Structure 1
Amino acid sequence: MFKLPVMKNTRRKFTAKFKAKVAIEAIQEKLTIQQIAAKYEVHPNQISQWKRLFLDNAESVFSSGSESTEKSVLEEEQDKLYKKIGRLQVENDFLKKSLGEA
């Protein structure tokens, strides 16, 4: 019995840089979505999706996201310091009791 060779359908993975480039080109509208799809060998629906995602998240570029990241880093550092203070207080209390009983 003859078996046909099985072809694997591997999904292509695109970098964020590539997606942004294609989305920007679609936004500029110098070429149609169909032409851009042919140029980059990507399905037109995929380009439309990237374009929509790009436009929906464009305002985050100008938002104060860096402030929230910096704040979370500071909060983590603060938590570490509070834990260290707690350990040192326990150690200090233990040493006081040890010396007081001796």
Structure 2
Amino acid sequence: MKGKRKRYTASFKAKVALEAIKDKHTLAELSKKFEVHANMISKWKQEFLEKATSIFEKDSEQESEEKIDPDPLYARIGRLELENEFLKKSLKKLH
């Protein structure tokens, strides 16, 4: 019967990948130190290096979030607050 798989946080994976990139220790040493299989460390290192360039690219999602006009949202909040107050008053009249 097999046990549950271990789940590692992104920060832990990054820490291990950075140690592997530094090449101060062998994969076997890192595997023993972090209690992770050497193949997993190699995979995390490769993934880290592949995605490293995206850090310096402009994030189009962030730019689109910044361009959202808040005025319609505030107007909707105001309408909902008015409706909410109206409904509260109506319920009080029924009791």
Task: Tell whether the structures are fold-level matches, with TM greater than 0.5.
Answer: yes
Separation in structure 2 between the aligned mates of residue 46 and residue 23 of structure 1, nearest angstrom:
10
Give the match for residue 47 of structure 2.
53
Higher Cα Rg, which structure: 1
AA of the residue aligned to 1:73? E
Q: In the alignment, is residue 37 of structure 1 matched against residue 31 of structure 2?
A: yes
Counting matched residue pairs gives: 72
Q: What secondary structure, in the 3-state scheme, does the structure 1 residue paired with 2:6 have? A: coil
TM-score (norm 1): 0.62
Q: Which runs of 5+ in 1 are unaligned?
A: 1-6, 85-102
Give the match for residue 69 of structure 1.
61
Separation in structure 2 between the aligned mates of residue 29 and residue 70 of structure 1, nearest angstrom:
34
Equivalences for 1:76-91 in 2 at 5 Å? Answer: 77=68, 81=72
Separation in structure 2 between the aligned mates of residue 56 and residue 23 of structure 1, nearest angstrom:
12
Give the match for residue 100 of structure 1.
none
Separation in structure 2 between the aligned mates of residue 11 and residue 27 of structure 1, nearest angstrom:
25
Q: Percent sequence identity over matched residues?
A: 44
| 1:46-78 alpha-carbon deviations (Å, 9 max, x no partner) | 00000000000000111111xx12333256x36
TM-score (norm 2): 0.66
Give the match for residue 99 of structure 1.
none
